[in-house]
Amino acid sequence: MKTLNKTYFEDFKPELTVTSPGRINFIGEHTDYNNGFVLPTAIDKKIFFFFKKNNTSNHCNIYSKSYDAFLRIDLSNITTSDVEWENFVLGVINELQHRNAVVTGFDCIIESELPMGAGISSSAALECGIALGLNALFDLKFSLQELITLSRDAEHNFVGTKCGIMDQFAVVMSKKAHTLLIDCESLAYELIPLTMQPYKILLLNTNISHNLATSEYNKRRNECEIGLEIIKEKYPNISSLREVTQPILETVRPNLNTTLYNRCAYIVAENNRVQQAVTSLKSGDLKSLGDLMYGSHDGLRNLYDVSCAELDFLVDFSLKHEYVLGARMMGGGFGGCTINIIHGNNINSYVEKISYAYKKEFKIDLSAIEVSPSDGTSIIYH
């Protein structure tokens, strides 16, 4: 078989183009896999996919422009790869095949504007772009909900992160100028209009990678499950941490070690914060939203233990600037971005100041990305 190279993709005429965005999350971190509430939305930075069938029964050729890397897939033998980004693609194909979808040979060029490992879910954007793209290309007739869950399953089964549903849901279902309140138990959701002027959403990327992230992420999930089992010994009708209140938690405190208590206490408080954040947003009270974001960061740092020195530095720095209404780490943790609600007039000077301080402290360049809430994964037919 010839090696795949750029020549193969010359004069590429796509049948369809898919755009799949990254996501932010205002509040509700690590609550999704505890059947709780989250408040994310898609952003105006995306991955682009150009798809066409290639009239073979089993061969797919994929070119990632961002990595300048090629992937040749044999559809009759889908297995995991040692290369991480390949598993997002292979994992989705595997889930489609498990659901008896008839996928035949296709070619695809992928081009991304999303930094990897920044906590803005480039992985879900990739999975959902492939899933919705193949669904359209081969007229597979899966519902959006099925495509969201199979993309999540791909991450569990091929990448190994036992993630919740937030990222894939937000990437697919978001609408411009809105945020999504998702009930991760029922998957009911509400689109909440966002009016933020004169404030803006600024992401500050620590440029620290997530090496620890997958193992620690699965560990947190496991700790929540153990905590829940202990709570259930006294309250057998409780089926997830979402149903636990602080008074209930206090009654079982003697049975939980400090780590398990802290994990559960964080989740209980974070679910409450999401509900309060919705009230704040609906009444246009961004100051209260900001305070809740600081509360969230505090819990993630001290109780859930998924922050790191770089993220804490950025959040602490923001506290000294009143034109930043709120800041917190975003996503799984251990690096990635902080999300900041900042007055539009102060962005440039603030980025300059905080980049300088960050570099001085950690000898690492900070990257700043201004984002706005945008539509979810979209398909353009040619």
Query: Which C-beta is closer to ligand GLA: that of 331 or that of 335?
Result: 331
Is there binding between residue 163 and ligand GLA (CB under 6 A)?
A: yes
Residue 331 binds ligand GLA (CB under 6 A):
yes
Stretch 108-137 residues interacting with ligand GLA (CB under 6 A): 121
Name the residue nearer to ligand GLA (CB basis): 29 or 95: 29
What is the SS3 assignment for 131?
Answer: helix
CA distance 32 to 165: 6
Would you say 54 and 104 are in contact if contact means Cβ atoms under 8 Å apart? no
Q: One of 167, 183, 365, 375 is an active-site residue; which one? A: 167
Instruction: Work out which of 153, 167, 305, 375 binds ligand GLA, going by CB under 6 A.
Output: 167
Q: Which residues of 173-189 are buried (b: 16+ CB within 10 A; e: fewer)?
A: bbeeebbbbbebbeeeb
Residue 213: CB minimum distance to ligand GLA, A = 8
Query: Which residues make Cβ contacts (< 8 Å) with residue 334, sequence separation at least 6?
Result: 208, 210, 211, 212, 213, 216, 306, 307, 308
139 is catalytic: no
Closest contact distance (angstroms) between CB of 127 and ligand GLA is: 10
The residue among 40 and 290 lying less far from ligand GLA, judged by its C-beta, is 40
Selected from 20, 24, 29, 205, the binder of ligand GLA by CB under 6 A is 29
Q: Which amino acid is at 125?
A: A
Cα–Cα distances (Å) from 127 to 18, 48, 78, 133, 295, in that order, read: 12, 12, 15, 10, 31
Angle at 351 between CA 349 and CA 354, to 5 degrees: 105
> Does the protein bind ligand GLA through residue 33 (CB under 6 A)?
yes
227 touches ligand GLA by CB under 6 A: no
- Least distance (Å) from ligand GLA to the CB of residue 7? 37
Q: What is the CA radius of gyration of the chain?
A: 21
Interaction between residue 46 and ligand GLA (CB under 6 A) = no
Q: How far apart are the C-alpha atoms of 8 and 205, rounded to whole Å? A: 35
Minimum CB distance to ligand GLA, residue 56 (Å): 34
Q: Which of 24, 27, 32, 242 binds ligand GLA (CB under 6 A)?
A: 32
22 contacts ligand GLA (rule: CB under 6 A): no
| Paired residues of 342 in beta bridges | 200, 324
If binding means CB under 6 A, how many residues of this protein chain bind ligand GLA?
A: 11
* CA–CA separation, 354 and 351 (whole Å): 5
Choose the stretch contacting ligand GLA; rule: CB under 6 A; options: 99-107, 158-166, 315-323, 344-352. 158-166
Tokens of 10: 């010359």
Of residues 184-213, those binding ligand GLA (CB under 6 A): none
Residues marked active site are found at 167
Residues near ligand GLA, by CB under 6 A: 29-30, 32-33, 121, 163-164, 166-167, 331-332
